[in-house]
Amino acid sequence: MFSEVSDLESSECASSIRKKRFNSRLPQLGLLTLLVWGSVVFLKTLNSTIHGEPGFRRLPTDCPQVTEDGLLKVSFENVRNFTFNPTLQTVQWIGGLNSPSEDMGLFLSVENGSYVIKSVYDQEYSRLLLKGKEFSYKNQNFTVDHLQASPNLNQMLIRSNTVKHWRHSTFGSYFLFDTETSSFNFIGDNIAKAEWSPNSVDIAYVKENDLYVYSSKKHATVSRVTDDGSAQVFNGKPDWVYEEEVLEGDSAMWWSPEGEYLAFFRINETEVQEFPIPYFSQHEDDLYPEVRLIKYPKSGSPNPSVKLMIYSLENDKTTAVAAGNESSLITEVLWVGSSKILCKATDRCSDILSVVLADARVEGKHEVSRIESSEDSWWEITHDTMHIPKDESRGREQDGYIDLVPHDGYNHLAYFSPTNRSKPSFLTRGSWEVVDGPAGFDQDTNDVYFVATKKSSTERHLYRVNLHKPYELTEITDTSKEGLFSVSFSSGMRFALLSYLGPDTPYQKILDLKSTSSDTHARGNVVGKTLYYLEENEVLRNRLHQYAVPEKTFRELNLGEDENGQDILVNSYEILPNDFDPTLRNHYPVFFYAYGGPNSQQVIKAFSVGFNQVVASQLDAIVVVVDGRGTGFKGKQFRSLVRDNLGDFEARDQIAAAKLYSEKSFVDSEKISLFGWSYGGYLTLKTLEKDAGQTFKYGMSVAPVTDWRLYDSVYTERYMHTPQDNMSGYNRSKVHNATALGRSRRFLLMHGSGDDNVHFQNSLRFLDLLDLANVENYDMHVFPDSDHSIRYHNANTIVYDKLLSWARQAFNGDFVTGFY
């Protein structure tokens, strides 16, 4: 999927907040340094001032990096050195030592390079698992790159010699470490994925696309589950498109709850066509480019075929589950009992969702419990369905599951019990949306915790609802104040890590949700007792007093009426430059940033000081971000409007917003620009094309799709159907009117030649279009061998330097006078 360039995506907190997708997924690392929180100092001579004692002195106001109030401006150097980067911790909750009713809040921690088990309930508790991050095996030294504890915590699965593959996947050497004997055992080299069984004995691993089972008791591989793995057939791990667009991860295997069965995907991409990517600067002595072939299904071309397989360890036998057909996408797999498995499948265009249930004990036994139409929308791929286990003593007569299902046009929690039930009991309702499905389930109380946009689509608050009391919601976080929260729970649901991510300085706290007392002074939560703060970020909070950080102002813009006479209301925020003076006339340039992909979101109240603030501070420009129609969290009708017609409504809304700003007396309407990356790069070009120089005078497009026939099938067909069924839509949606684009004053195009996601082919085709139309008012920068994130060989520094300097030239009028 696409990665989006967002103020969230590059931070740790982003993992808890669903964005989108071109899934959603910017180039994640690109913004890691630029769009989110930044850092230290811009001049060594100012180091003592920036990091000095609380009584810091203000600098002379004639310094270009200082405001009229004597505060420091935000600069690239700050952002790149993490001056504004809050500390955020992750808590890897673990079970294994206690039953849920005896939840001590155990978690895995790394202290002084060693791996230890700690407890949030008893801070004196500590159990050493592995000392140090380096170890020796047969006189060779290795480094711990990744560690996964067995469920009973007696053994560690360790990966070393890690080699990155695609976005999520790696290869490496795997070892087994016994915490009781302090001994290491070697499992194998060049392993793509390895996962513990719930029984703490068996390990499933993938090597050369075949699936094996290793026994930690016998210290040997005891089963070869498949023998057909090849460059075309993937067992237990995804191919490129399933990793990028469907599973959004590197694993395609699922252990049953008791470790009796192992489900996995068998993906055959024999029919998928290859795309060659040449690499020119990998080795200095190479005279010819290295060409890497990648199986990449473009729109309308053959997809890989996928089958869900179930392996029985006891019988050493594998059977297939009949889920869909050869063209179906299997999007989610979930065990809903010791032997029952649920999988979701859609047609290749995500119009029809089928939910299939199978029993691993009976070969060929399966049923289709649900068949649902998207009704002029599409089914997004999700991985948040939650099994609700049977417990008659607590009123749960049969196994069930909670899913996220549209209800009156908004995504809400739906409870299906028994698991083959076709119609759910909805737990939530209203003109707001649940985000990412259920966040946690308390088996003792039947409480379901979830994050939702109930207060505002730009905020995230935590709530709970009981299975037996639908629609009766309890607020966990304080909704009287603005807030963006994420949460994770201990194994028994007693403790929670509550992370406040904005709009103010982030903090994290550990809550006891089952305490008989509550906080005297609520900060964040109104339910539960705060045990302690994991992070308060006081250093960052104090440091911010030294800077004039331009603030975001959130508002809902009215862009006028649509074809049905309804007001078009969109979320937006603006960042005003330092020392902003509204009495000036025709003075301020406006820098629009857009992503705009289907179901994505950029306008969200997260703390961030990054590239947008750099632009406002350094270019004396107003920065505006608008989430137009097609984006997420404002309901099905708002987002599904773009189906089969990408680029149209999104571009209209950017133009309408720009016109509103062009009418402001303090705005220089001749200096309005638009910047976007990935889907945002596409939207930039489509907006310039539709606008034809009337409102947007400048544009900056990075790594854009220019023709949806050239992008991958799974993402594109979800929103556009196939070219065979919607050729007119594809023709409208591609960037095609070069003459109209040429009416803008000037635009910038940048792309990495090694982009395996949005192929450089898109920009080359676009350049050819410009040549044929005699359009020359643009600049081009190619980054050799860089992928979609553009970071190879210092490229990430250059791409943002170029964006800032090019925008400065545009706002200075250089492209009008010709001096550039």
Cα–Cα separations (whole angstroms), residue 200 to 180, 182, 203: 14, 17, 8
Sign of the C-alpha dihedral computed for residues 185, 189, 194 and 197 taken in this order: negative
Strand partners, 500: 485, 507
- Give the span between the Cα atoms of 105 and 452, in whole angstroms: 25
Helix (H, G, I), strand (E, B) or coil at 13: helix
- Give the span between the Cα atoms of 458 and 482, in whole angstroms: 9
Bond from prior residue into 418 cis (ω within 30 degrees of 0): yes
Q: Which of 366, 412, 461, 788 is catalytic?
A: 788
Quick one: angle between helices 648-662 and 679-691, nearest 10? 70
* Dihedrals phi, psi of 681, to nearest 5 degrees: -65, -40
Q: Which of 668, 755, 756, 785 is catalytic?
A: 755
Q: Which helix (H) or strand (E) holds 685?
A: helix 679-691
Strand partners, 265: 308
Q: Which of 456, 678, 701, 713 is catalytic?
A: 678
- Give the span between the Cα atoms of 417 and 425, in whole angstroms: 8
Whether residue 377 lies in the annotated active site: no
- Give the span between the Cα atoms of 641 and 142, in whole angstroms: 53
| Tokens read off for 702 | 């990075």
Helix (H, G, I), strand (E, B) or coil at 768: helix
Sorted by sequence, the CB contacts under 8 Å of residue 97 that are 6+ apart come out as: 104, 106, 117, 153
24 touches 2 (CB < 8 A): yes
668 touches 588 (CB < 8 A): yes
Helix (H, G, I), strand (E, B) or coil at 334: strand
Q: Which helix (H) or strand (E) holds 714?
A: helix 713-720
Q: Which amino acid is at 524?
A: G
Helix (H, G, I), strand (E, B) or coil at 802: helix
- Give the span between the Cα atoms of 723 and 301, in whole angstroms: 9
Cα–Cα separations (whole angstroms), residue 177 to 68, 116, 153, 223, 399: 60, 14, 11, 21, 36
Whether residue 755 lies in the annotated active site: yes
Cα–Cα separations (whole angstroms), residue 357 to 314, 339, 419, 733, 804: 21, 11, 8, 38, 53
739 touches 773 (CB < 8 A): yes
- Give the span between the Cα atoms of 806 and 814, in whole angstroms: 10
499 touches 13 (CB < 8 A): yes
Of 1, 46, 91, nearest to 499 by C-alpha is: 91
Whether residue 781 lies in the annotated active site: no
| Tokens read off for 585 | 């006339």
Of 442, 444, 462, nearest to 454 by C-alpha is: 462
672 touches 592 (CB < 8 A): yes
Helix (H, G, I), strand (E, B) or coil at 538: helix
Other CB atoms closer than 10 Å to residue 459's CB: what's the count? Answer: 24
Cα–Cα separations (whole angstroms), residue 23 to 354, 597, 658, 794: 22, 9, 26, 25
Active site residues: 678, 755, 788
